[in-house]
Chains A and B, each alone.
Chain A
Amino acid sequence: MLIQAAAARWRCPVTECEARQGQVLHKPSNRSFAFADLAEDAAKMPPPKNVPLKSAQDWTLIGRPRHRLDSRAKIEGRPLFGIDIRVPDMKHATVAACPVMGGTVGEIDRDAALRVPGVTDVLTIDNAVCVVADHYWAAKKGLEALAIVWREGANASVDTARIYRELHDGLSEAHPIVAQSQGDTTTAFDRADARFEATYQQPLLAHSTMEPINCTIHVRPDGADVWVGTQVPLRARDSVASISGLPKEKVHLHSQYIGGGFGRRLEHEYVIQAAQFARQVPYPLKIVWSREEDLMLDRFRPAYVDRVRAGLDHQGRVQSMEFRVVGPAVVARWAPEGLSPNGFDSDLGGGILETPYTYPASRLEFVRREAPGVVTAWWRGVGGTRGLFVVESFIDELAHRANADPVAYRRALIQGHPRARTVLDLAAEKSGWGTSLPKGHGRGVSVQFLFRSYLATVVEVDMSMPGQIRIVRVTVAADCGQPVNPDQIRAQIEGGVIFGLGAALFNEITLKGGRVQEDNFNLWRILRMNEAPQIDTHLVDSTETPGGVGEAGTAAAAPALANAIAAASGRRLRTLPLMPGVEAA
């Protein structure tokens, strides 16, 4: 349409015009118009029915590495994120909510908080207290001075053991939801030459984003403004409207950069909380949660228990595959309409139904067990991260039982997904799969088809020192369809792998007395730069429809690592996190 506008203005054929670098160029005369100059004319034209796409050889942007436009601003620490917001007359605040879910505010020493220099107000709602001050430190000291006594409620008895016990009980549920059934798994299992079964357990996880939860909000009789990092701006706006009593069009949400989301910003309960406080005061209120509050009051990736059963032929090849998943259905809370009619959360099919593998018979059962004492939510890689650990660990165990090479075993299982074979072969080649390793080292592999992208990952570990896992190297081969910015793809895969490795090694949220115990990074460990392995990412040159990569690396990390540990030590770890399991040796 821009080209048409230019051609009309120059009164020449459209074939003589070319768009590039924000301009339309008339090739014969070398005249040009900027897009901006043509926009108004173009807007008046009817949209064309058939748009000819530029052929790949003419592309100048797609497929080439480019720097992100915002890299410089981030490096320079410019105010991009929600936490950076400054508005006139703004006051700073921090909050504490009852650390036990469902609890309420009992006693507070309001006067003690107000005596802290800089503290100007103390606001309460049913389950949280907010201290307002001239600056954050005063608000934090004021919050401490409150000496809050909570009425903890029924969830004060929840601990981690109970959560896991309820999940394991689900394995014997007589009437599971059948999410998928293909072929006759029961008969195939009964007739199999051999059978194998394993149970896997995964913990509650926090998002632990770099930027803690924050929200700046101003509620006035005539309207409201909200400055916040969120992935669900319309939901957040609607909630503020509801709480303040304002019509939706009077609430303006100014969406900000997010300093790490990983699923946490798909929730907006912190905006609701902020609105409940902000409507009590006339000035803009900037609420920042402390790191402790951010970790303890997170909405957690649920804990799950999975059981897998396979019927095998005499050579160890799969004849039937049965999966049972026990845990929460996150979609039931977040978007109830997304739950299938029989109660299945399709996200839980990630890695299991969404897979490059083909089985003669397969079945997926789901037993819904909502977690007591915590709110559960999505976490980076969502169902794929959860499911892939189960599938790829199990496939590796089957390969081991068949005395087969894990790569070869997987290759044979991949039917109708040539791109999966390609990445598997590429990762094997680039990682030196099959070549000899030093004593105490091991390699593990995983293959995935998630987010419409194919990845194969090889992790090499060094376990020559007792009680220690050192990750030597990670090799990833990825086919995500037509690359747009290859550098960004590599960066996202690397980031995802690091995120996933740290969680797999160290992370578990535990509850005691209904309270989350991991409140800062001394107890909730993050893989640091000096612990990060070398990560080599190899992109397949592809022209297929682009798929997602932002979360793919996260999903790949745990299974490849667990498989590497098994190869290095001979010990199969079926419970995450892995490091405690190693120490238990």
Chain B
Amino acid sequence: MRHSFLILGVVGLMLAAVTTACAATQGQSDPDLIKRGQYLARLADCEACHTAPGGVPFAGGRPFAVPPMGTMYSSNITPDTQYGIGQWTDAQFVRSVRRGISPHWKHLFPAMPYQDYARMSPDDVLAIRAYIATVQPVARKVPSNTGIFQFNIIRPGMFGWDLFNGPSSSYPDDPKQSADWNRGRWLVEGPGHCAECHSPRTLTMGVSHRHAYAGAVTAGWLAYNLTSDPESGIGSWTDEALATYLTTGHADGHGTAAGPMAEAISYSLRFMTKEDAAAMVTYLRTIPAQPVKPPKKASDAFSPAALKHGEMLFAGACAGCHLENGIGRQVVSASIAGGHTLRDPDGLNLLQVLIEGSRLTTATGNADMPRFGAGYSDRDLADIAAYTMITLGGTQPAFDTDAVKAARKGK
């Protein structure tokens, strides 16, 4: 997960329990187990976080910046015996994934969503282990954490954090619901760990259950409301549109996944079976609607001349792929007319995707949005965004050029 969190001042007592762990090695070379493990590893989206940008899969080193506190780096989870997890026992692996405690009884930081992964059974986790054992070992040390995260002294505080926000165990299926619904709940709240991004945080920076899936801003990107609310959530989406979006990253009239969601689809969701995708949709449909945020006052930052400027820049820099009417040229991911992103007056994701760009990997290849942040000024980007939002999203912008500055910093 890529969310910010505050460190509790609670210094919890570390449990002094000593458990002798006997590694169960049976099944490590079982092809069916490995295949199931690969599927589960994809569901859990392990690769996205444990791979540095442009780096070797699972070799770690991806930065998680939490300004101003510092930066954490994901660990190397390849089978390498020196820098990876090659020497971990199965019990140690299970404890890390499901309880957030590393082999040396260090509490992991919740950037690793162990509180969600706890819903996976130990057998599920061991299947993932079996798959990761087949990954190329990489003898590469990841960068050390910086800021407060370089000091192990704060790790015991995670014990206290875990008390409030920590992992729950697997729970039984709800007999009143269908098998599909139960499978969907497991997918969404377990390995899919959707709430980590799509739910707002509590005071202790844990996932809010009162406003579950009501939407939140994560690393500068708005993770949308997934509740069944027809206006701000997914209530007006068809099942087909939802399933298509989840498995390909695009749905006509709704837009194309970008940023962290594009990553989730590229590394994870697109590998779901049709049955699992349908189950996920079934569950998402039943998340209670959360009230609509009151609409913001439209911005006065965009004069007719500014919109004319935005139109000119759109024609030059955007219309080549998106076309003037936004229906896109040649590939569906270029279709943006009416998109969800264009109907958020704050323009959070619109500005982010303009500045940072995005890559979405599908079964037919990569769909790339280039980054324009370093080539265009704040004024340029604000005007492009405003023009696009008004023209193709039918929405009056509520942001200004300061929002561009803020978005640049958010990356």
Contacts and interface: CB of A to CB of B under 8 A. Distances in A.
B409 to A, nearest CB: 15
B378 A467 contact: yes
Interface of A: 464-468, 470, 506, 517-518, 520-525, 528-531, 579-580, 582-583
A467 B375 contact: no
Given A522-B375, A523-B370, 5 more contacts: A466-B379, A468-B380, A524-B375, A528-B317, A530-B316
B399 to A, nearest CB: 15
Contact of A465 (B303, B316, B370): B303
The secondary structure that dominates the B interface is helix
Contacts, number: 51
A525 B317 CA distance: 9
B315 A530 contact: yes
Contact of A522 (B315, B372, B401): B372
Given A520-B370, A522-B370, A523-B371, A467 B376 contact: no
Nearest to A465: B305
A542 to B, nearest CB: 38
Contacts of B372: 522-523
Contacts of B380: 468
B398 interface: no
B319 to A, nearest CB: 10
7 contacts: A465-B379, A468-B309, A522-B371, A523-B371, A528-B317, A530-B312, A531-B316
Contacts of B371: 522-523
A579 B380 CA distance: 11
Q: Which 3 pairs show the lowest CB-CB distances between chains A and B? A: A467-B379, A522-B370, A528-B316
B306 interface: yes
Interface string B343-376: 0000000000000010000000000001110111
Given A522-B375, A583-B377, A583-B378, A465 B312 contact: no
A521 B316 CA distance: 11
A468 B379 contact: yes
Nearest to A517: B374
Interface of B: 303, 305-306, 309, 312, 315-317, 357, 370-372, 374-380, 401
Find the residue from A466, A506, A522, A525 having the highest chain B CB count within 10 A. A522
B374 A523 contact: yes
Nearest to A520: B370
Contact of B375 (A465, A525, A529): A525
Nearest to A583: B377
A465 B306 CA distance: 8
Contact of A506 (B305, B315, B357, B375): B375
B374 A467 contact: no
Contacts of B305: 464-465
B79 to A, nearest CB: 19
Find the residue from B309, B378, B379 having the highest chain A CB count within 10 A. B379
B56 to A, nearest CB: 8
A518 B370 CA distance: 12
Contact of B309 (A465, A506, A517, A521): A465
Nearest to A510: B374
Given A465-B305, A530-B316, A531-B316, A523 B379 contact: no
A466 B316 CA distance: 21
The secondary structure that dominates the A interface is loop
A65 B350 CA distance: 49
B51 to A, nearest CB: 13
Nearest to B366: A144
Contacts of A506: 375
Given A531-B312, A583-B379, A467 B303 contact: no
Contacts of A529: 316
Contacts of B379: 465-468, 583
A170 B377 CA distance: 31
A237 B372 CA distance: 40
A521 B375 CA distance: 8
Nearest to B371: A522
Contacts of B316: 528-531
Nearest to B305: A465
Contact of B376 (A466, A520, A525): A525
Nearest to A141: B365
Nearest to B55: A147
B366 to A, nearest CB: 10
A463 to B, nearest CB: 11
A534 to B, nearest CB: 15
A214 B315 CA distance: 30
B377 A580 contact: yes
A579 B372 CA distance: 15
A438 B234 CA distance: 50
B404 to A, nearest CB: 10
B116 to A, nearest CB: 32
Find the residue from B303, B315, B375, B376 having the highest chain A CB count within 10 A. B375
Contacts of B374: 517-518, 523
A440 to B, nearest CB: 10
Given A522-B317, A522-B371, A523-B371, A579 B312 contact: no
A523 B375 contact: yes
A168 B371 CA distance: 32
A518 B372 CA distance: 11
A528 B309 CA distance: 13
Nearest to A466: B379
A525 B306 CA distance: 20
Contacts of B309: 465, 468, 470
B308 to A, nearest CB: 10
A531 B401 CA distance: 21
Contacts of B315: 528, 530
Contacts of A582: 377
Nearest to A462: B305
B318 to A, nearest CB: 10
Nearest to A523: B375
Contacts of B377: 467-468, 579-580, 582-583
Contacts of B375: 506, 518, 521-525
Nearest to B372: A522
Nearest to A149: B56
Contacts of A470: 309
Contacts of A466: 379
A518 to B, nearest CB: 8
Contacts of A520: 370
Nearest to B357: A522
Nearest to B306: A465
B63 to A, nearest CB: 15
B224 to A, nearest CB: 26
A535 to B, nearest CB: 18
A152 to B, nearest CB: 14
A506 B377 CA distance: 10
Contacts of A524: 375
A112 to B, nearest CB: 12
A526 B305 CA distance: 22
Nearest to A580: B377
Find the residue from A518, A521, A524, A580 having the highest chain B CB count within 10 A. A521
Nearest to B365: A141
Contacts of A583: 377-379
B383 to A, nearest CB: 8
A563 B348 CA distance: 37
A520 B371 CA distance: 10
Nearest to A507: B375
